[in-house]
Structure 1
């Protein structure tokens, strides 16, 4: 995918409810596409969507891709069901810390994306550099 065009957040607005959701979806697809532990159809789907070869709406209507998502969710459910109470509590604690970290990163990204348009510095509004006392 290195020499291919990658979709932008806006390209996911056909399935996202707002620009922020589109941004989070693109980031999630990026994680799936770049993580070698994902593999298989799920990783393929993410790579295809990010490259723009298939739309997200089409991807979620493709049986092979939906089966891969279902299989992964099933694995996650089984793993959660097999956890001890101590493991569940540890997972909750780790998730809370991870979630806080993600919220902080998203706030920083949002400020970076939105910031420049709010802090535009322009030259003097007075023409010719003359003083108003002139």
Structure 2
């Protein structure tokens, strides 16, 4: 961050409600703070610096619109992929989840990453399973490993 200060997990508990969700929210904010969407970068950086609370960010109409727009793009990409692509993404997601759990356990114990843990530079998130791995592959978080389920809002 510009002044070196960054909120910690405890400061996100009012919105996240528990430690695991707060950790996940902090990771998401870090990812958004370097992402391609300028409105989401602005929002995430403001929360990370402490200039804006997470509750303020998630209730601001402009930031909410940007979040929903991104989620809609992911949903549409998931709808366009084949059953084989969905299965492959589900397998990669399971592997990614296991690696993430291992990383979280190491962080909780204060153990440095092992030689088998993917290396990342400061501020860079580990590669997620929905990253494009080949030509024509479409996918995204929130739609991994399933083929077009009907969601709570009737999408699908």
TM-score (norm 1): 0.76
Q: Which is higher, the Rg of structure 1 or of structure 2?
A: 1
Which residue does the alignment assign to 2:91?
93
**Number of the residue aligned with 2:43:** 45
Partner of 2:118: none
1:5-44 matched pairs, under 5 angstroms: 5-35=5-35, 38-44=36-42
The C-alpha deviation readout for 1:84-126, integer Å capped at 9, x for no partner, is 111111111111111111111111111228xxxxxxxxxxxxx
Give the TM-score taking structure 2 as reference length.
Answer: 0.66
1:70, CA displacement in angstroms? Answer: 0.3
How far the C-alpha of 1:40 sits from its partner, in A, is 1.9
For 1:95 and 1:16, how far apart are their aligned partners in 2? Answer: 23
What is the Cα deviation at residue 76 of structure 1? 0.5
Can you give the 5+ residue segments of structure 2 that lack an aligned partner in the other structure?
A: 112-156
Structure 1 residue runs of 4 or more that deviate by more than 2 Å after TM superposition: 1-4
Deviations 1:10-58 (Å, cap 9, x if unpaired)?
A: 11121121223212211221121134xx322112111110011100000
User: What do residues 56-90 of structure 1 show as CA deviations (whole Å, max 9, x unaligned)?
Assistant: 00001100100011001100100000001111111
**Structure-1 separation of matches of 2:23 and 2:84:** 34
Partner of 2:80: 82
Give unmatched runs, 5+ long, in structure 1: 114-134
